[in-house]
Amino acid sequence: MTDQQDDFLRDHFSHSNARLGRNFQWVVMQRILALRVERARQKAILESALVAIIVLLIGSGLLAGYYWYFGLPTFLLPTPNKIALTAVGSLLIWYLLDAAWRVRRTVG
Amino acid sequence: MSVETDEVVISKVLQGDSRAYEILVGRYQDAVSRFIWKIIPVEQDREEVCQDVFVKVYFNLDKFRFDAKFSTWLYQIAYRTAVSFNRKKRIETRSFEDDEFVKEEVQNPDQELVRKLLNQQIGKLKLEERTMVTLFYMQDLSIEDISIIVNRPGGTVKSVLHRVRQKLQASIENTMPELVEAMI
């Protein structure tokens, strides 16, 4: 192995010329921006879901504790209609909370 | 006007100045492109991988340790990205002979022949060998830096470089023995 070999190969590689598009920098920055927006969106959705789950868990726990201690009042005894109404109501509240959270994040 | 060091620019980016990242991209895009070119010879793929590299670097900038050289860290990410891209596309070897980027003025037909032959032989090298040769001869990186980038001991890098040099010389000698005397 000689210095001549090294020089020869170095010279060979110095002729390599692989240019990128003129707007390469711009494209990279746009991709970064798009990814940042996407990540922020996903984070907001995850956070809103977490908040909703925590609120539901705490609410359910409090309610269960209350009924366990005081007993279930007659008007709250479960019937199919009441269960369906509660499920739809919960979904609606979840949807409204999530929408409000997203709007808040977007505006903020 | 003094040029800001990579570390200063990185600090700015980490403090929230995203525009400062353009400086780093501008500073290293050609070097990364030349490096990637030796691993991924298809122009569109190369451009895509180069973009991926800079996007990855941006989102991992907080993991950069300031005691290391930024360029070494950048090439490390570039190498991994290119290797995983190759794995997905199953590109291992390819001749660079007809790549548009090797077109240039022909000063000496013999030299041009050797150049073509070398490109062919470099294209036939294993990916890791090609990477080491490119980093050593094209990017002028030290053995130590190369060993960090390809995650191999320095001794292995040295022996691979030695083997590749012998291989390239042998291929030229076998094909054009009369030229070797004049050129090497």
* Predicted confidence pLDDT, tens digits, chain A (108 residues): 466 667 777 777 766 666 777 788 889 999 999 999 999 988 988 898 899 999 999 999 998 898 888 887 777 778 888 889 999 999 999 999 888 888 877 765
Tell me which of B28 and B140 has the higher pLDDT: B28
User: Which of the two residues, A27 and B176, has the higher pLDDT score?
Assistant: A27
pLDDT in tens, B32-51: 988 888 788 777 888 899 99
B54-71 pLDDT per residue, tens: 999 999 999 988 888 899
Burial classification of residue B1, based on how many CB atoms lie within 10 Å of its CB (0-12 exposed, 13-18 middle, 19 or more buried): exposed
**A90 contact B CB<8A:** no
User: What is the C-alpha separation between B155 and B138, in angstroms, rounded?
Assistant: 20
Q: For residues B13 and B63, what is the distance between their CA atoms, to the nearest angstrom?
A: 13
Q: Which residues of A touch B118 (CB under 8 A)?
A: 9, 12
Please indicate whether residue A3 or residue B53 has the higher confidence score (pLDDT).
Answer: B53
User: What confidence category does residue B78 fall into, taking pLDDT thresholds of 50, 70 and 90?
Assistant: very high
Token code pair at residue B143? 């053995």
Query: Which chain B residue has the Cα nearest residue A26?
Result: B22
- B37 contacts on A by Cβ (under 8 Å): 16, 18
The answer to whether the Cβ–Cβ distance between A9 and B133 falls below 8 Å is yes
Beta strand ranges found along B37-170 (DSSP E)? none
Contact predicate B99/B130, CB 8 Å: no
Q: Among B97, B36, B184, B141, which Cα is nearest to A11's?
A: B184
Please determine, for residue B97, whether its predicted confidence score (pLDDT) is greater than 50: no
Of chain A, the end-to-end C-alpha distance in Å amounts to 64
Tell which A residues from 10 to 69 touch B, by Cβ distance under 8 Å. 10, 12-21, 24-25, 27-29, 31-33, 35
pLDDT at B100: 43
Distance CA B146, CA B1 (A): 32
**A20/B22 touch (CB, cutoff 8 Å), yes or no:** no
Cα separation, B86 vs B44, in Å, equals 13
The answer to whether residues B143 and B150 touch, using CB atoms and an 8 Å cutoff, is no
Token representation of residue B13:
């980016």
Residue B5, pLDDT > 80, answer yes
Instruction: Retrieve residue B166's tokens.
Output: 């012998």
At A1 the pLDDT is 47
* Average pLDDT of chain B to the nearest whole number: 81
CB-based contact A8 B38, cutoff 8 Å: no
